[in-house]
Amino acid sequence: MTGALAGVLVADFSRVLAGPYATMLLGDLGATVIKVEAPGGDDTRRWGPPWADGTSTYFRSVNRNKHSVVLDLAAAADRATAQRLLRRADVMIENFRAGTAVRLGVGYPEAARDNPGLVYCSITGYGAGAGVPAYDLIVQAVSGMVSLTGRDERTVTKAGIPIADVLAGLHAAITAALHHRDRTGQGQRIEVNLLSSTLSGMVNFTGAYAMAGEVSRAMGIRHPSICPYEPYPTADRPLIIAAGNDRQFAALCRVLDLPGLPGDPRFAVNDDRVAHRAELAALLTRSLAGRSADEWAELLGAAGIPCGPINDVAGGVALAQRLGLEPVVEVAGIPQVASPFTLSATPVTYRRPPPDLGADTDAISRWLAEGDTDDDRSA
């Protein structure tokens, strides 16, 4: 086995997105991940279209590098198998409703008693004390994120991706807890919830409220604190320009042949440009009308000005390919979005495709019934 987390055994009792995304990232980094599914399987196995070879692309997107084991935790024999797995695991991730893990015999108190070094991560919607179920869309709404997304307050919308789930998956601080365990020999419980992750992920917007009492509103693609930082029309399609400082703004004005703007008191510094956003937009739009978005992107990019057209997903993947980032990999012939990690000494590996439901139940059950050895953890 290779990878930064080679030899780490992860018991994945999670389903849908936040937990499976977190455990897939751990698997990419070399951990052995055993995905425990109820007899019906993870809900996302049935979420389609789209389908690929009869399998949900949603499920395949977050479940590579895992073994699948079907266990009915309401049955005594399967519950005993799950508990044997937890005694041998380094990490456990679950997103049951509050109280369910304890009722099914896989809660933190019992697991930690049998395996004091276990790092046990619970992902919830609103915290361990709230028994209310949560979905990404609801958390985007109640967190205030939806109020920030849209052209204005009358056209608010959700983010185009399930951002609350993804943020929660990224916030699952498993590696930090493993480092603590290596130093002290003690595991611990990690609690991650979608609401807190979303509030944290809104960074400067929640920070503006916490520090200045300012409640931000939807502004489309514009930025409340930076200008120019939004899409502008060109001869064929919009181009996003993000001049985040006075030097970049001056360079933008040179390329657009607007040499007088940096000295204009309305636009001299960023605060002034934000205050006179509409006037500046009219002047920039007039100059940008003479060339296409791609032509401007090349000219502005050469001058060090951050910019880019609004691509669809295909365009985003194509850009990553042109940049040499290899955004798509094949795992046993199944196309997958590549891991975002690049590690020089312990690179990520793609060892297993997303598993069929219960494909490894018999093998893992036999393995758990055998004696525990150091080599077993990297099976």
What residues does each domain of the chain span?
Answer: 9-201+349-378, 229-313
Q: 0.85 exceeded by the pTM?
A: no
Residue with tokens 């001056």: 250
Q: Which CATH number fits domain 9-201+349-378: 3.40.50.10540, 3.40.190.170, 3.30.70.360, 3.20.20.140?
A: 3.40.50.10540
Q: Which CATH number fits domain 229-313: 3.20.20.70, 3.20.20.60, 1.10.10.10, 3.30.1540.10?
A: 3.30.1540.10
For residues 70 and 37, is the Cβ–Cβ distance under 8 A?
yes
What pLDDT score was predicted for residue 164? 76
Strands 32-37 and 9-13: parallel
At 73, which amino acid appears? L
What pLDDT score was predicted for residue 131? 63
For residues 34 and 9, is the Cβ–Cβ distance under 8 A?
yes
Residue 365 CB contacts under 8 Å (≥ 6 apart), including other chains: 69, 81
For residues 229 and 244, is the Cβ–Cβ distance under 8 A?
yes
Our answer to whether residue 165 is catalytic in this structure is yes
Closest CA to 45 of 82, 20, 79, 12: 20
At 121, which amino acid appears? C
Could you give the CA distance from residue 327 to residue 129 in angstroms, rounded to a whole number?
Answer: 39
Could you give the CA distance from residue 251 to residue 161 in angstroms, rounded to a whole number?
Answer: 34
pLDDT tens series, the chain, 379 aa: 568 888 999 999 999 888 898 899 889 888 999 999 999 999 889 887 788 888 888 899 889 999 999 999 999 999 999 999 999 999 999 999 888 999 999 999 999 999 999 999 888 876 777 666 566 766 776 677 777 787 777 777 777 677 877 887 777 767 778 888 888 889 988 887 878 777 877 766 777 787 788 888 877 777 777 899 888 999 998 888 888 889 899 999 999 999 999 999 999 998 899 899 999 999 999 999 999 988 998 899 889 888 888 778 888 888 888 878 888 999 999 999 888 777 667 888 999 999 999 999 999 999 999 865 544 444 4
At 40, which amino acid appears? G
Could you give the CA distance from residue 170 to residue 240 in angstroms, rounded to a whole number?
Answer: 27
Could you give the CA distance from residue 240 to residue 176 in angstroms, rounded to a whole number?
Answer: 37
What pLDDT score was predicted for residue 91? 93
Helix (H) and strand (E) counts in the chain = 16, 13
3-state secondary structure of 205: helix
Of the candidates 165, 246, 312, 362, the residue annotated as catalytic is: 165
What pLDDT score was predicted for residue 375? 44
What pLDDT score was predicted for residue 146? 77
Per the DSSP assignment, residues forming a β-bridge with 192 are 123
Q: Residue 283: CA atoms inside 13 Å, Cβ hemisphere, count?
A: 19
Residue 117 CB contacts under 8 Å (≥ 6 apart), including other chains: 90, 181, 185, 186, 187
Residue with tokens 């015999």: 105
Q: Describe the crossing of helices 293-302 and 246-255 by its angle, rounded to 10 degrees.
A: 130
